[in-house]
Structure 1
Amino acid sequence: MNEGDIEVESRRAIYQEIADSPGIHFRALLDTLPYAQGTLQYHLRQLADEDLIDVSDDGKYTRYYPAADFDEAEQTVMNALRREYSRRILAHLLADGPLSTTDLSDRLDKAQSTVSWHLSKLADADLVTKERDGRRVVYDVENPDRVKYLYTIHQQSFTDRVVDRLLGLWEGY
């Protein structure tokens, strides 16, 4: 699909923003684009009805993807990468994993309960595995190559220099 195939200029601009930032959510689109809420909702519905975009619910946000560019597993990864602390947890696990909740809490300077909540969401989405190591539970990334690849390809749409420094992925792909 080429955005030039979309006749309505505002719809074309919305589609282009989604293509540039796959997994973007409604509020971010509203903040980025010069359209009123109702106008944006209308055009998103039209794009979805025409099968030009896919709509994904990550449990907190409704996220948008160019249709046919991302399968369901890739959308799940991108949904996680769009959440700041999930992205940082994945980065630490990729760089230094497997790690425990305590290890991650120390690295992120966040409460263990916060880290545990994010890890639970990542585990529910089958993005991380957990394994008992003596008295502690350690986590690791389920499919590191997929996560690294999607992060690398869409790195410019994430504004997280901490993760960029941790992973240094541009050299890998």
Structure 2
Amino acid sequence: MTDETDPRTILIHIIESEPGLHFRALQRKTGMAVGQLEYHLYKLEKEDEIMIRKDGRYKRYFLIASSDNTKKILGYHLRNKISRNIIMLLLRKREMSIQALNERMKDREKLDEAIKVLLSDNILIRENDRLFLKNPDSVKEYIRKSRKSFLEELSDSLIDMLDEE
């Protein structure tokens, strides 16, 4: 039996329900002090309960024992600005050439890297010079179910940006 007030149990529940949250979002959701949160995340990582994936300047947290790895990976990509833009464009257009994406995005190097990772994570399919979402319906479903956490993520980003000024 698990203790629902145990900080690690709380963290596991939050990370399971919202994979890919970053440290500050976890801190806000739990109300834990920075040191306490760092300690429990460190312990969970050492116990192979969670994994950390770096996304630019953020560390994103995921459960290792998650039953649906695709959702976990999709959540990660939707929290990354460039990957999210690619996914959203492909949801609207159904398919795009790499050249058309290059024309819409500013940083070609980051775009190329994002496409490479999206392909290796089986989010995208490439046929010749055209890109498609592998499963657009599951992407739409994930976005619908995760809408609230994405709004929180946007507000967290805004707060972080304002804190830096």
TM-score using structure 1 length? 0.66
Alignment partner, residue 130 of structure 1: 126
Q: Aligned partners of 2:94, 2:54: CA distance in 1, in Å?
A: 24
Summarize the alignment of residues 37-116 of structure 1 with structure 2, pairs less than 5 Å apart: 37-45=34-42, 54-57=50-53, 62-65=59-62, 70-107=67-104, 109-116=105-112
Q: Aligned partners of 2:130, 2:114: CA distance in 1, in Å?
A: 14
Alignment partner, residue 155 of structure 1: 147
Deviation at 1:86, TM superposition (A): 0.6
Aligned residues: 152
Q: Tell me the secondary structure at the aligned position of residue 99 of structure 1.
A: strand
Q: Aligned partners of 1:17, 1:40: CA distance in 2, in Å?
A: 13
Q: Aligned partners of 1:113, 1:56: CA distance in 2, in Å?
A: 24
Unaligned runs of 5+ in 1: 162-173
Change (3 A) 1:124 1:38: same
Deviation at 1:23, TM superposition (A): 1.6
Q: Tell me the secondary structure at the aligned position of residue 104 of structure 1.
A: helix
Kindly provide the amino acid, as one letter, of the partner of residue 80 in structure 1: H
Change (3 A) 1:12 1:54: closer
Q: Aligned partners of 1:128, 1:19: CA distance in 2, in Å?
A: 24
Alignment partner, residue 140 of structure 1: 132
Deviation at 1:22, TM superposition (A): 2.6
Whether the 8 Å contact between 1:18 and 1:64 is mirrored in structure 2 is yes
1:30-79 C-alpha deviation (Å, 9 max, x unpaired): 4665434331022234556888x643536765433467664222211111
Deviation at 1:99, TM superposition (A): 0.6
Alignment partner, residue 5 of structure 2: 7
Q: Aligned partners of 1:152, 1:72: CA distance in 2, in Å?
A: 18
Whether the 8 Å contact between 2:50 and 2:63 is mirrored in structure 1 is yes
- Higher fraction of helix: 2
